[in-house]
Each structure stands twice: as structure tokens, then as C-alpha cells.
Amino acid sequence: MSSFLKIALRNLLKGPSTDPYPFGETFVPKGLRGKIKYNAKACIACGMCEHVCAGGAIQIKETADKSGLEFIVWHNTCAFCGLCEHYCPTKAIRLTEDFHTAHSQEDKYRYVERGFIKYVTCARCATPMVPIAPELMTLAYGQVNKDIEKLRHLCPKCRQKQSLR
């Protein structure tokens, strides 16, 4: 009897265990996989995320005016599996801890994360190409010196010519 009273009293003093959300703040466990955040500056348009995406949520395609590539994640078919983040070589895709996904039916097809990669022109032959992110340079070369930095502004063909010279 006394042990029961002890537990009852302790529970009484503990206060409610209910999460105050939606009237107050809620907790977010560390490492929660939420909505995707995309950083166009670090993206190299390799298309790996599009390839591994389980729900087919990611799409990278050229814009109509051919000025660059458009990146789209449709949150309504993203399973938050995190494969895109895992396979992204430059970590341009990150899963945030944002879990607020409820939206009305009118916004169904507007519920996307967009990014735009503008083409740059090759310093030598002026063909449009995807800009090379500094993240990729450090990944490929480790230390980036001045000679390597010059390669960054060349298209793949000119880069080949330059390196084989």
C-alpha cells in the first residue's frame, strides 16, 4: 500500500508527460530526417540523387531557355529515406530537422524545394557548362593550388587538353 502511494505521489509531482505541441514547443530528436534542403552552389549536377531517389521525388532538368539546370524535390513523394544525402558527393543535399509538412490540397503541387544552377561559360571555348563547386575541387584534389584552380573555369574538353599538354 505504502509503495503504491509513493508511486502515485511521485507521478503527481512529476507533472504532465504530454508534449505541449501544438500549444507549445515540441522536442526534435537529434538526427530526425525531415524536409530536404538544397544548396545549388555546392551542386555539381551529377544526377546521383535523382538516380537513387526511392520515391522519384528529385528531378534535375535543363530549363526551357537553356540557361541552366533546375533542381526540384517534390516533398509529397519524398520518403525521407536520406539516400540522396548519403550519396551526394559534395553534400549539396541535406535533410533538415523540419517536420512541419501539413499543407492544404491547393498547395499539393507547389510543395517543392527548388534550386537553380546557372551555366557558366568555359574560359577558353565559351561553351556553357555546369559550374564546378569548390567542394568538388577539394574532394578531387585535396589541396587546391593555382594551376588546378585554372582548370575550374574550363569545360571538360578544354580541361582534358590542358591536362594532357
Partner 1 sequence: MKKLLQKIVGKSPWLYRINAGSCNGCDVELATTACIPRFDVERLGCKYCGSPKHADIVLITGPLTVRVKDKVLRVYDEIPDPKVTVAIGICPISAGVFRDSYAIAGPIDSFIPVDVNVPGCPPRPQAIIDGILEAIKIWETRM
CB of 94 to partner 1, least distance (A): 17
Please report, as residue ranges, which positions from 26 to 65 form the binding site for partner 1 (by CB under 8 A): 26, 32, 54-56
Q: Does 12 bind partner 1 (CB under 8 A)?
A: no
Q: Does 105 bind partner 1 (CB under 8 A)?
A: yes
Query: Grid coordinates 524545394 are at which residue?
Result: 113
Instruction: Extract the C-alpha cell encoding 46.
Output: 551529377
74 bridge partner residues: 112
Of these, 37, 46, 70, 80, which contacts partner 1 (CB under 8 A)? Answer: 80
Residue 72 · residue 59 · CB < 8 Å? yes
CB of 50 to partner 1, least distance (A): 15
Of these, 9, 79, 125, 139, which contacts partner 1 (CB under 8 A)? Answer: 79
Of these, 99, 114, 121, 160, which contacts partner 1 (CB under 8 A)? Answer: 99
CB of 46 to partner 1, least distance (A): 22
Q: Does 101 bind partner 1 (CB under 8 A)?
A: yes
Q: Does 96 bind partner 1 (CB under 8 A)?
A: no
CB of 4 to partner 1, least distance (A): 20
CA distance 142 to 30: 30
Residue 139 · residue 46 · CB < 8 Å? no
Dihedral sign of CA atoms 38, 39, 40, 45 in order: negative
Total site size for partner 1, rule CB under 8 A: 28
Residue 46 · residue 60 · CB < 8 Å? no
Query: Grid coordinates 503541387 are at which residue?
Result: 109
Instruction: Extract the C-alpha cell encoding 38.
Output: 538544397
Instruction: Extract the C-alpha cell encoding 31.
Output: 538526427
- The amino acid at residue 129 is M
Interface residues with partner 1 (CB under 8 A)? Answer: 17-19, 21-22, 26, 32, 54-56, 74-81, 99-105, 107-108, 111
